[in-house]
Chains A and B, each alone.
Chain A
Amino acid sequence: MSDERIEKALRQGPPAEPAYIVQLTPADLQGSVAKAPRSTSAFSLFASLGQAVVAAGLVVAVAGIVLIRSGAFETAAKPPTRLADIQARGVIRIAVRPDRPQVTAPGGAIAGFDVDVATEIGRRLGLRVELDFTPADEMLAGRGEWDIALPSSAVEPGTFATTTPYYDWPVQLIVPEGSTAAGPGDLSGSTICVVTGSGGEAWLDGRFRGTSVTPVAVPPTPSAVHRLATDEACSAEVTAGASAALVTAAWSDADLAARPALKRVGGPIFTEGRPVIAVRGERDPAGLLAEIDRILAAMRSDGTLADLSRSRFGGLDLTESQTP
């Protein structure tokens, strides 16, 4: 490997380094001068190493004695709900996908709409946010150690508890510029490409059960469905003539505008409502999601959600119609 490549990789930083979420505000600074930092971990609560060691030793020892004497290692009372558990911990772990609607900036930092929304949810909960960048299919398989997740995809009812969708994404049918197809039905008998695991795939297979704020178009009956990993791969198929169309649940109008050889067929085939999810488990997540629903409603009413959408989606507000 050349020095140039090594140095470039060094500048990009470690691949597994979590994103640091910018948190300070002018109010924090103005309020901090006469006060201790607002940090919540033990890290900042001690003025010196000596004090910290003594205090930590005492805390651990006393806690150990109390627990041992009470036989409480296995039976210590836990907070009754998942929300209380998270509040007691002081940290909420939120999974967001590392790809769209996120972007990876030079240097490796990940930013985007879901990162913004997750950060704001944590802020309004009064909790520190730990972002967990997890592919959507992993989230929807329930893998990962997170409290809530923003898979940015349609979520079928059942496995997960969900909030009201916080934004709605128009899923599009894309064909070559020269295509005469005017609607999905015109593509029956053709090969259609779709991203595996996307809402578009479910629609094409006739099993879409997510929410949509626009009527769900009747899917065509294709001669074959090519299931690929990305929209870019499907786009290459369509451009090469191997598929007559692709269904995208990730491309925006701006993405399409950058590809003049392709065009959209009509309006959205459906508009995918994208909620926050939590795994159903031994502790009921209803209270947690109700609180997040309340926060999302507040973000919607004070304009925060719309502002975030416009800033990340080229001026579009995709949060307007959150109810089917």
Chain B
Amino acid sequence: MSSINVVLGNDALESIVLDLERRHGQALFGFVRRLGLSDAQAADAVQDVLLRLWAELVAGRTIEQPKAWAFRAIYRLAMDQHRLQRRIGAIAERLGRSDEARGDTAPDAGDRIAVWAEVARLPERQQHVLYLRYRADLSFDQIGSVMGITASTARSHATQAMATLRRRLGDETGEAER
């Protein structure tokens, strides 16, 4: 897989991108939403990244791990967009405008609600690492690459986050697990 674009023709490259969207579009979308983008912006971001990936592949660039590449690219896009939104927000505020947030309506219950409510209380970096590790199923090496940190730092964030979750969720249910 060291030169995927040399070995494979356009049809195969096409299937890589489409398959990536089918299998990991939801996680890319969910991840970038957690970075502060609206639903529409997040969906746009996923498509932008996939189209960029496609353009890179057909241009002959070697991309050994398309999935990790996509997460890295979308993380950078989101960071840029996040900064942009903060500055636009400040301008809009001066003009007396405000943005409205939309509530989520998707259903679910039980452990997911409890766990993700606690995840939302974690420091942002720990939240991102947990999402990438468990939801997107990336290795710590890949997470490090996505977020621009070392693999050991990513692992450390995950360990601290899990310890916090374990403590808080154990406490709230009256369990004594450690």
Contacts and interface: CB of A to CB of B under 8 A. Distances in A.
B143 interface: no
A166 to B, nearest CB: 23
A69 to B, nearest CB: 13
Given A16-B108, A110-B106, A11 B51 contact: no
A26 B44 contact: no
Given A12-B112, A43-B37, A61 B175 contact: no
Contacts, number: 181
Interface stretch (B60-68, B97-105, B145-153): B97-105
A10 B166 contact: no
A16 B106 contact: yes
A41 B40 contact: yes
Contacts of A30: 14
Contact of A37 (B51, B58, B113, B119): B51
B162 A15 contact: no
A229 to B, nearest CB: 14
Contacts of A1: 111, 114-115, 166, 169-170, 173, 175, 177
B30 A17 contact: yes
Given A15-B107, A16-B108, A21-B43, A56 B55 contact: no
A33 B13 CA distance: 13
Given A1-B114, A13-B30, A61-B91, A145 B102 contact: yes
B27 interface: yes
A2 B97 contact: no
Contact of A2 (B40, B51, B54, B177): B177
A29 B15 CA distance: 10
A304 interface: no
Given A20-B28, A37-B47, A10 B115 contact: yes
A144 interface: yes
Given A3-B166, A21-B43, A39-B48, A33 B108 contact: no
Given A26-B18, A60-B92, A128-B43, A10 B135 contact: yes
A49 B133 CA distance: 29
Contact of A5 (B54, B111, B116): B111
Nearest to B171: A1
A49 B88 CA distance: 11
Contact of A53 (B22, B44, B84): B84
B44 A41 contact: yes
Nearest to A31: B51
Nearest to B26: A20
A3 B165 CA distance: 9
A13 to B, nearest CB: 5
Nearest to B87: A53
Nearest 8 CB-CB pairings of A with B: A15-B108, A16-B104, A20-B29, A10-B134, A9-B115, A39-B44, A64-B95, A1-B169
